[in-house]
Amino acid sequence: MGFTGWPNAPFMATDTTLFHMEKHISYWLRCLRSPLPTQYTSNDPNRMTLAFFVVSALDLLGALFTRTLSEERQEFINWVYSCQHPDGGFRGFPATDFGDRRNHENAAWDPANLPATYFALSLLCVLKDDLSRVKRKQCLRWLRSVQRSDGSFGELLGPDGRVEGGNDTRYGYCAMGVRWILRASICGVVEGEEDVKVDKLVECIRKAEVGGTLACRSKRQRLVILSVLTDIRWRHLGSSVS
């Protein structure tokens, strides 16, 4: 199985680049089962994100369910649930969990995180968990609380319940992913919780359109915006999306 290199590419040593699947599988298994290199230390708060990409890589390579034991996969699932926040959502890593010492004063130091919640739920789906332990009601309530009045989403709740995090459309993408996993195409009330304001998110995204193009800092953010709008359209979210 080979891939023909692009013409006139100076970094290509040969005309054909081979995909060494076994080496990739070995690499990702090492990342899964042993501590990551010291260069990853600063990314410890993003451990849930790293876990998602490691496990997903093995899944894409067809090795997740053939090269790991069912006991290992259950341990991964249990670890994800250990990062679940009591008020809904998931932490990015377990170090901020105060356990029995959690109180109103230190709660702001232990927030659920929107990207981490999206990656946690996605990770559980990849591992074929039934999501029965997800605090669905609390998570849906929390998801609504991190949406701003203009329709955009923040990353987390700070002191006094303030929505924190930049105005980044990728948070909207994560929010729609969480929404879909927890309520599918159901609009309205689910487990007593109202829906997020999908139409407001669409309105917020469309305000970024200037002269027929999306005014974003990068091509990557434009792709994220288009992905959000496509997901909303195809999953029939909201009542007036067109």
**Which tens digit of pLDDT belongs to each residue from 91-146?**
999 988 988 888 888 888 899 999 999 999 999 999 999 999 999 999 999 999 99
Between CA 176 and CA 183 the distance in angstroms is 10
Number of residues in the chain: 242
pLDDT at 1: 42
Residues 6+ apart with CB under 8 A from 103: none
What would the 3-class secondary structure string for the chain be?
Answer: CEEECCCCCCCCCCCEEECCHHHHHHHHHHHHHCCCCHHHHHHHHHHHHHHHHHHHHHHHCCCCCCCCCHHHHHHHHHHHHHCECCCCCECCCHHHCCHHHCCCCCHHHCCCCHHHHHHHHHHHHHCCCCCCCCCHHHHHHHHHHCECCCCCECCEECHHHCEECCCCHHHHHHHHHHHHHHHCCCCCCECCECCCCHHHHHHHHHCCEECCEECCCCHHHHHHHHHHHHHHHHCCCCCCCC
Work out the pLDDT band at 81, boundaries 50, 70, 90: very high
Query: How does residue 147 score in pLDDT terms, banded at 50, 70 and 90?
Result: very high
pLDDT tens per residue, range 57-79: 999 999 999 999 999 999 999 99
CA of residue 111 relative to chain centroid, distance: 16
* pLDDT digits 0-9 by tens, 24-70: 999 999 999 998 888 888 999 999 999 999 999 999 999 999 999 99
Q: What whole-number percentage of the chain has pLDDT above 90?
A: 55
Q: What is the mean pLDDT of residues 155-179?
A: 90
What proportion of the chain, given as a percentage, has pLDDT over 70?
A: 80
pTM assigned to the model? 0.82
pLDDT (mean) for 189-203 = 89
pLDDT at 221 over 70: no
State residue 225's pLDDT score. 58
